[in-house]
Amino acid sequence: MTIRSVMVGCGAYLPARVMTNADLEKVVDTSDDWIVERTGIKSRHIAAEGETTADLAEQAARAALAHAGLDAGQVDLIVLATATPDHTFPATATKVQARLGMTRGVAFDVQAVCSGFVYALAVADNFIKAGQAKVALVIGAETFSRILDWEDRTTCVLFGDGAGAVVLKAEEGRGTGADRGILTTHLHSDGRHHDMLFVDGGPSTTQTVGHVRMRGQEVFKHAVVNLAEVVEEALAANGLEPSQIDWLVPHQANKRIIDSTARKLKMDGTKVVVTVDHHGNTSAASIPLAFVEAVQDGRIKRGDLVLMEAMGGGFTWGAALVRW
Ligand code: UT7
């Protein structure tokens, strides 16, 4: 028998305000045509004034717990992936813990930018497999709108705000690919590429929050290669062919990057969950937001095999194979 981290519930939250490409045309020198052609993005959600990452995360967590039929008192662990925490410290996860009324267990943040959700999933899975937690909340939550330079058209058109969460529960499996739950996770980082995607501020450097800076074209090239490699690695580790994957749930940075990964897997577009058109890039929140959308509209069904993959600043990248 093998301990598996089974996904027993999921939930998401998006701020009410929607910003379209037409709205952005009034802010910077850009066009709906350029944004759609280069990225696939048509609109994104933006947090209201005063609405923070913890607010978004709390709503997603509550929805995921309700879906799982569990209450917060049963949760042993919260791992929250974010690059836009409410404060430099303490962890936003502890704020969510308090809001949920949890007075026991462990809560902390994970920082891997756009790969954050895959990282957080791997961390929680390892806690569960090590017997250190039985029920875990894994949250990806971001308010990227707060760290954008709204005068820089090369970045401000790309990102959005939101949160998604899943509940993991320790269950016994057979140790085969037929088990429900997380089958394998695969994480990578390469710190040499720091300057291609970073925030130009921080407590120990400038004592300011800073803004996102990106060399888009170079990030794009690395993303295509790294994501192709990590999905191959995930398939090989499980002895699977791409045709056996029911759903690809990729990080939603750019439709062209998503299409490239799908093409390499020879995966039909109808098996790829795409939300970048209406969410933009929500960093650590993008995979759980896409996953929840496809679960809620009935595309992803219990027992389906789902491949998640992401790449972000650091560079960090990774994949998770999950049977829902
Ligand atoms: O989530 C973490 C990982 N992040 C990513 O994966 C993002 C990866 N990168 C990308 O998605 C793409 O590189 C971008 C969408 C950021 C940019 O697309 P691109 O096809 O690589 O465009 P580019 O940077 O080569 O820029 C092409 C042109 C430039 O003008 P010139 O020099 O050719 O005259 C830019 O100045 O487009 C111009 N441009 C814009 N034009 C209108 C850049 N941003 C804009 C804009 N509106 N918003």
Q: Which residues contact 217 (CB under 8 A, 6 or more apart)?
A: none
Q: Which CATH architecture has domain 2-173?
A: 3-Layer(aba) Sandwich (3.40)
Ranges of the chain whose pLDDT falls below 70: none
Let me know: does 308 contact 120? Beta carbons within 8 Å: no
Catalytic residue check, 156: no
Query: 2-173 and 181-323: same fold?
Result: yes
pTM: 0.98
Pocket, ligand 1, Cβ cutoff 6 A: 30, 34, 38-39, 114, 153-154, 157, 216-217, 219-220, 223, 253-254, 257, 281, 311-312
Nearest atom within ligand 1 for CA of residue 153: 48
Q: Which residues contact 265 (CB under 8 A, 6 or more apart)?
A: 231, 242, 245, 248
d(CA 184, CA 145): 32
Whether domain 181-323 has CATH 3.30.365.10: no
User: How many whole angstroms from 38 Cα to the centroid of ligand 1?
Assistant: 7
Let me know: does 214 contact 301? Beta carbons within 8 Å: no
Parallel, antiparallel or unpaired: strands 212-214 and 247-250: unpaired
Parallel, antiparallel or unpaired: strands 161-173 and 2-13: antiparallel
Nearest atom within ligand 1 for CA of residue 28: 48
Query: Of these residues, 45, 186, 193, 251, which one is catalytic?
Result: 251
Query: Of these residues, 45, 114, 193, 226, which one is catalytic?
Result: 114
Q: What is the DSSP-derived secondary structure letter of residue 176?
A: S
Alpha helix positions (H), 100-215: 116-129, 153-156
| Residue 112 structure tokens | 């891997």
What confidence score (pLDDT) does residue 63 get?
98
The helix (run of H) or strand (run of E) holding residue 225 is helix 216-237
Catalytic residue check, 10: no
Top mutation candidate among 34, 154, 258, 276 for ligand 1, by most atoms within 8 Å of CB: 154
What confidence score (pLDDT) does residue 41 get?
98
| Closest CA to ligand 1's atom 39 | 154
| Closest CA to ligand 1's atom 19 | 217
What confidence score (pLDDT) does residue 51 get?
98
Residue spans of the domains in the chain: they are 2-173, 181-323
d(CA 272, CA 235): 16
- Strands of 106-110's sheet, edge to edge? 2-13, 161-173, 135-143, 77-81, 106-110
Residue 81 vs residues 42, 119, 309: alpha-carbon distances, Å: 25, 8, 15
What confidence score (pLDDT) does residue 1 get?
83
What confidence score (pLDDT) does residue 283 get?
98
User: How many whole angstroms from 24 Cα to the centroid of ligand 1?
Assistant: 15
